[in-house]
Structure 1
Amino acid sequence: MSKIASVSLARPLPEVSGELGRSFAEYGFAIVRDHGIPAELISRAEQLTRAFFALPDETKRAYRIEGGGGARGYTPFGTEKAKDANVHDLKEFWHVGRDLPEGHPLSEYMAPNIWPSEMPEFRDTFEKLYAAFDEAGRRVLQAIALHLDLPQHFFDETVEDGNSVMRLLHYPPLAPEDADGAIRAAAHGDINTITLLLGAEEAGLELLTQSDEWLAVNPPEGALVVNIGDMLERLTNGHLRSTKHRVVNPEGAAAHRARYSMPFFLHFRPDYVIETLPSCIDPSAPEDHPEPISAHDFLMQRLREINLV
């Protein structure tokens, strides 16, 4: 078995596209170094994330938007379930999305962000981090396009003003009442196009291989873990895999400390129609591919499955 690719985005994309594509086809995952997100910005964001989740529960809950599907603001502990799971995940989170100007044709799909008034520097930091994630994601998609023998900038328009969401995640220390089979994040696939994850250096992230074995993902400090989401798997007719993954409960001393991470769920534009790429259709089975569906309709379908709408 080959290894999960670990590539530097400082190299020319044609040099890394093949390695990334192989890893995404085999594992659905790759590790990306030299991604261009400043270390100082990451450090500041991590500090603010810890400070926000340390606020009193009633303060955090004031930023929950009822009926919003968790798309913006705060989602409390015990809310989200993985698809087909019987118990909730052991996590709470905050979502930052794309802010569109008033009157933008896609604004009906994206609510304005809200910001915690207790932390005046929160907005500036996370707007900058969102933009940096967005740019890194475009670079990864350009490499994926080359792997698929598409023009390098094929995906640029598909994600322009996309409904991408940055999640600030807090997994609290384990408690005795968590012993009912719940884990920090039950096995699931991501809904979106690709996910870029900061903070996976803390042990716990595992992916399910094609031989049904759980494989730990251990990136170096500051690197991104990138994985394929269901939307891109659908577009490529399974050529690139949206792999089930989970965050398992730690043992020993690690069980008594919190875990933090920041995934960026990069999405297509809501009005983009996910229709299988012609090059990914098997000529011997021309009907064997998913039906076209808009990115927004697919997202809503999946959010219902995980208890967020």
Structure 2
Amino acid sequence: MQLQAIDYTSPTAQEDFVQSLHETGFGVLKNHPIQQKLVTAIYEEWQSFFNSDAKDDYRYNVGTQDGFFPADVSETAKGHTKKDIKEYFHYYPWGQCPSDKKPLLAQYYSEANSLAAELLAWVEKHTPADIAKNYTQPLSSMVDDSDQTLLRVLHYPPLKGDEELGAIRAGAHEDINLLTILPSANEPGLQVQTKDGSWMDVPCDFGTLIVNIGDMLQEASGGHFPSTSHRVINPDGADKTKPRISLPLFLHPKPEVVLSDRYTAKSYLHERLVELGVI
């Protein structure tokens, strides 16, 4: 499997992007509208947040899943026994957020959410007719007025050498939602599993935006768009002393959306959050 960067401004961008999603579960975009300076500013602001004790004042709400998730309640990837070595903050426009950090995060949420919705519309437009008939409603309408789309500020702290044996920054997993969009993090480590079971590094140059299929779109499309496993490995050598921040946006449908004869968006999300051990 190879991930070829697709020019967002190309006349064939839509077809090429959707084909990549179908074949690999991932798409890589260059010349996209997300601005590097905005992402860099957010990385800097939130590194100071994770370095401070103030983060404990924003501990997450179990029922609504907004706020700060410390390392001791971090996710355990499905099928794994070790917690990921990470902490993170869940941002929703309606949820809690430090007032001095909300303006930039709100701006990014709006811009990234708009781009994610546009990319979902590309998927809808270029889904083969025999697959599209499985959709219970147009994909684009699944996210109209949804307040469930999640922006996660992920912090992988420096490794000290005393981590639990077998624990890595993010165990191999698939995302829950429809689409995830991710500007490159400030350090490498993201890998994608290929069809032969091997792992491929994902470039961390900001010139690209990584987009991947989530389980909900896989479910709605009857597997036509695969939700591919990915992970974040521990770095080697001196890189172990560096923190890593990333900024994934998880495009979520409205809770009442029917994904298939097995799941609504609400029931699927609840099942997966229980599996992850965060509720």
* TM-score, reference length from structure 2: 0.91
Q: How does 1:160-309 map to 2 (within 5 A)?
A: 160-162=144-146, 163-200=148-185, 202-275=187-260, 291-309=261-279
Q: In 1, distance between residues paired with 2:222 and 2:185? A: 28
CA drift of 1:128 comes to: 0.8
- SS at structure 2 position matched to 1:94: strand
Q: Which residue of 2 aligns with 1:113?
A: 95
- Number of residue pairs matched? 271
Contact 1:16 1:143 in 2 (8 A): no
What is the aligned-residue identity percentage?
33
CA drift of 1:86 comes to: 0.7
Contact 1:4 1:30 in 2 (8 A): yes
Residue 85 (1) aligns with residue 83 (2): no
Q: In 2, distance between residues paired with 1:182 and 1:254? A: 17
Which stretches in structure 2 are left out of the alignment for 5+ residues? none
Residue 52 (1) aligns with residue 60 (2): no
Partner deviation per Cα, 1:187-216 (whole Å, 9 max, x = no partner): 000000010012346221111111111111
- SS at structure 2 position matched to 1:178: coil
Tell me which of 123, 130, 133 is aligned to 2:112: 133
CA drift of 1:34 comes to: 2.5
- SS at structure 2 position matched to 1:237: coil
Q: In 2, distance between residues paired with 1:231 and 1:130? A: 21
Which AA in structure 2 matches 1:198? P
Which AA in structure 2 matches 1:6? A
CA drift of 1:179 comes to: 4.5
Which AA in structure 2 matches 1:84? G
Q: In 2, distance between residues paired with 1:39 and 1:173? A: 23
Q: In 1, distance between residues paired with 2:61 and 2:102? A: 21
Q: In 2, distance between residues paired with 1:251 and 1:92? A: 20
Q: What do you get for the CA RMSD once the two structures are aligned?
A: 1.9
Contact 1:167 1:264 in 2 (8 A): yes
Contact 2:5 2:208 in 1 (8 A): no
Which AA in structure 2 matches 1:75? F
Partner deviation per Cα, 1:55-85 (whole Å, 9 max, x = no partner): 12xx21221134236x211000132111121
Contact 2:177 2:250 in 1 (8 A): yes
Q: Which residue of 1 aligns with 2:22?
A: 25
Q: In 1, distance between residues paired with 2:204 and 2:71? A: 27
Report which of the two structures shows the higher radius of gyration computed on alpha carbons: 1
Which AA in structure 2 matches 1:40? K
- SS at structure 1 position matched to 2:162: helix
Of stretches 87-96 and 209-218 in structure 1, the one that deviates more from structure 2 is 209-218
- SS at structure 1 position matched to 2:273: helix
